[in-house]
Amino acid sequence: MSSNKSCYCTIVLFIFATSWYHVASSLSYSEESMSIKHEKWMAQHGFSYENEKVKEARFQIFKDNVQHIDRHNQEGNHTYKLGLNKFADLTNEEFLAKYARSSMQSFKVASSYQSSFEYTNIKDIPPSLDWRDHNAVTAVANQGTCGTCWAFSAVATIEGIAAIRSGNLKKLSEQHILDCNYMHEGCKGGRQNSAFEFVIKNGGLASDTDYPYIGIQTACANNKPSSLSLNITGFGFIPPNNETALLAAVANQPVSVDVDITILQFYRSGILTGECGTNLNHAVTVVGYGESDDGVKFWLVKNSWGRGWGDDGYIKLQRNVNAIEGMCGIAMIGCYPIA
């Protein structure tokens, strides 16, 4: 009897203790534990602040972000997780001001290098594909605070088609495009087609080794050898708002797309489903697609915010959603180089 009773007691205590712990960790962090977390995060990212006042202000934002991330992860009804990363002391507005490109209104300019969509009658599209498995995707890069997503996205597609055709994967130079592109688009943003046009007219592109990324626009040094194994002769756009057409293209080569990154500041892993905007403000590269074990179809997307963001630098966005624009607007504007 008495042993039963004590056992029962222990269970009650255990349940009480774990639920209390759960509430404590989800709602009321001690100032001290938050402060330690902030210091650790600063050390991890090599960040420091110019004075205590700035540090205190950043600490308040950091706390809000930690609570936002933990709340999301503990709700337990999401298909994706959030995580702390280098953006953790920025408000969402600051994050967007720093990392989002302004409106994409002028994206489509007439160009003699633009061809009509070629992947219209593609049969035998595999149910899943990851171009990384075919040695057609280079390591995730970090664009820094220079707004060069357009160059990274375009270069990733050029590296992809070159690797698929030649069997040889080479890291090519975003900096070459940033410094030398004829439309003088730079760290304030640009368009992928202007990157393609530069590579076409220039007759090639330097390797990243010969022309390394420094993340600021400098004088054009157009005297490096091209490391492209083929000639880029044009580019095509995906018919807008059509995930079927996007699939046909991605089944043949990595494709550059624009997305709305507003809610992606702290994405860590899983398939992004649910609400997302369609105010296109960032360029990324679709390098594959597939379906999860529980039947959620996704696009596999390479970003250029380093490996510390997202799932080792990647994100999975739900595929074949009800809205024609696609998740986060992924189907609205897509383009790819022609070789």
Ligand X SMILES: *[C@@H]1O[C@H](CO)[C@@H](O)[C@H](O)[C@H]1NC(C)=O
Which residues pair with residue 236 across a beta bridge?
Answer: 115, 336
Select 44 or 166, whichever has its Cβ closest to ligand X. 166
Instruction: Work out how close the CB of 236 gets to ligand X at its nearest, in angstroms, rounded to a whole number.
Output: 12
Q: Which parts of 108-147 interact with ligand X (CB under 6 A)?
A: 120
Establish if 77 lies at the interface with ligand X (CB under 6 A): yes
Establish if 231 lies at the interface with ligand X (CB under 6 A): yes
Select 75 or 93, whichever has its Cβ closest to ligand X. 75
Name 319's Cβ contacts closer than 8 Å, sequence gap at least 6.
Answer: 243, 247, 289, 297, 298, 299, 326, 327
Instruction: Work out how close the CB of 106 gets to ligand X at its nearest, in angstroms, rounded to a whole number.
Output: 24
Q: 18, 274, 292, 323: which one contacts ligand X (CB under 6 A)?
A: 274
* Residue 26: both structure tokens together: 């989800």
Select 75 or 124, whichever has its Cβ closest to ligand X. 75
Establish if 280 lies at the interface with ligand X (CB under 6 A): no
Query: How many Å apart are CA 133 and CA 59, to the nearest integer?
Result: 41
Torsions phi, psi for 24 (to 5 deg) = -60, -40
Query: How many Å apart are CA 313 and CA 284, to the nearest integer?
Result: 11
Of 65, 85, 149, 176, the catalytic one is 149
Torsions phi, psi for 318 (to 5 deg) = -55, 140
Select 242 or 252, whichever has its Cβ closest to ligand X. 242
Instruction: Work out how close the CB of 38 gets to ligand X at its nearest, in angstroms, rounded to a whole number.
Output: 26
Q: Which stretch binds ligand X (CB under 6 A): 11-19, 36-44, 239-247, 306-314?
A: 239-247
Q: Using CB under 6 A as the criterion, what x/- string covers residues 24-63 for binding ligand X?
A: ----------------------------------------
- The answer to whether 282 is a known catalytic residue is yes
Select 188 or 201, whichever has its Cβ closest to ligand X. 201
Query: How many Å apart are CA 325 and CA 329, to the nearest integer?
Result: 5
Establish if 75 lies at the interface with ligand X (CB under 6 A): yes
- The answer to whether 121 is a known catalytic residue is no
Select 4 or 121, whichever has its Cβ closest to ligand X. 121
Helices (H) and strands (E) in the chain, counts: 8, 10
CA angle 290, 155, 299 (to 5 degrees): 15
Name 39's Cβ contacts closer than 8 Å, sequence gap at least 6.
Answer: none
Query: How many Å apart are CA 116 and CA 234, to the nearest integer?
Result: 10
Establish if 331 lies at the interface with ligand X (CB under 6 A): no
Of 193, 303, 328, 335, the catalytic one is 303
Q: Which stretch binds ligand X (CB under 6 A): 32-40, 163-171, 244-252, 294-302?
A: 244-252
CB atoms within 10 A of CB 326: 25
* Sign of the alpha-carbon torsion through 129, 133, 138, 143: positive
Instruction: Work out how close the CB of 162 gets to ligand X at its nearest, in angstroms, rounded to a whole number.
Output: 9
Establish if 263 lies at the interface with ligand X (CB under 6 A): no
- The answer to whether 78 is a known catalytic residue is no
Q: Using CB under 6 A as the criterion, what x/- string covers residues 187-206 for binding ligand X?
A: --------------------
Query: How many Å apart are CA 215 and CA 154, to the nearest integer?
Result: 16
Nearest to residue 329, comparing CAs of 270, 281, 287?
281
* Residue 43: both structure tokens together: 């050390």
Name 229's Cβ contacts closer than 8 Å, sequence gap at least 6.
Answer: 162, 165, 166, 168, 170
Q: Which parts of 153-172 interact with ligand X (CB under 6 A)?
A: none
Q: Kindly list the residues in this chain that would bind ligand X in the complex (CB under 6 A).
A: 75, 77-78, 120, 229-231, 239, 242, 244-245, 248, 274
Please give the positions annotated as active site: 149, 282, 303
